[in-house]
Amino acid sequence: MRELWTRGSIYFSEHVCLNAFAHVFAGLGIAWLVSLFWCYSTPVLLAGVLSLVIWIAIGIHALVSE
């Protein structure tokens, strides 16, 4: 587990733009899902889930890239 964390950290330190995009997608996804408490709508739910899926995909890409 520690090796995966190290590989991800090294990859993101070398690719700072991808790191920024990953954090933007994570923040947007969490914000959209939290906003469902005020106003439930399907497009907001889909946008939040899609943003989190993109964030996870970027993280997986960072772990498997060499």
Q: How far apart are CA 34 and CA 25, in angstroms?
A: 14
Q: Which residues contact 54 (CB under 8 A, 6 or more apart)?
A: 25, 29
pLDDT of residue 66: 67
Note down pLDDT in tens along the chain; length 66 residues: 777 778 888 888 898 998 999 999 999 999 988 998 888 888 888 989 999 999 999 989 888 886
Query: What is the pTM assigned to this prediction?
Result: 0.80
Tell me what pLDDT residue 44 has.
86
